[in-house]
Amino acid sequence: MEPTKRLGSDQRIRRQTTFKLLSEKGRFVRGSFFYLWACRAEDLGRAPAKPKPMVGIVVGRKTDSKAVGRNLWKRRIREIFQKHQKDLRQEALCLIKARPQVKQPSYEAMEQELVGLFKKAGIWA
């Protein structure tokens, strides 16, 4: 049976302290649509029982002024992360922040850039 691609609650970064630590200690990579901070869980002093890649997503009002648009950004980022989580290092922590845009890029462009950023950050297995 194929492992689930679903993003579980244990894979979402929710704590503000974790967001802050990632932005301070994580490796920073910049793309045209996203900023990415990434590091290993051990680097932040966190050792999860079952190591799985984790993600935190930030989409501000400057990216899209409407909540519907911001939610679409988040859904697409989450879907791309789910699709490629098997290719990421198991102990990876990622913070993805959407950059302000004039209009929303296509799903394919977002996916291509995020995969490239994962590889640049060194969390691609």
pLDDT at 1: 41
Strand order through the sheet with 54-58:
27-30, 34-40, 92-98, 54-58
Query: Residue 96: inside a domain, yes or no?
Result: yes
Task: Inform me whether the pLDDT recorded for 49 exceeds 70.
Answer: no
Structure tokens at 40: 């290993």
Q: What length does the chain have?
A: 125
Structure tokens at 77: 């980022």
Query: Residue 63: inside a domain, yes or no?
Result: yes
Query: Residue 71: inside a domain, yes or no?
Result: yes
Query: Residue 19: inside a domain, yes or no?
Result: no
Query: Residue 82: inside a domain, yes or no?
Result: yes
**Which residues, at least 6 apart from 8, have a Cβ–Cβ distance to it below 8 Å?**
52
Using pLDDT thresholds of 50, 70 and 90, give the confidence band for residue 5. low
Least confident of 8-12, 32-36, 62-66, 68-72: 8-12
pLDDT in tens, 52-111: 899 999 999 999 999 999 999 999 999 999 999 999 999 999 999 999 988 889 999 999
Indicate if the alpha-carbon torsion angle 59, 60, 61, 67 is positive or negative. positive
CATH number, residue 80: 3.30.230.10
Cα–Cα nearest to 117, from 86, 102, 101, 95:
95
CA dist., res. 54 & res. 41, Å (int): 9
Structure tokens at 22: 């990632």
pLDDT at 9: 85
Query: Residue 49: inside a domain, yes or no?
Result: yes
pTM here?
0.90
Please provide the average confidence, as pLDDT, over all residues in the chain: 90
Structural domains counted in the chain: 1
Query: Residue 20: inside a domain, yes or no?
Result: no
CA dist., res. 95 & res. 15, Å (int): 12
Task: Find the domain containing 74 and state its range.
Answer: 27-121
Query: Residue 3: inside a domain, yes or no?
Result: no
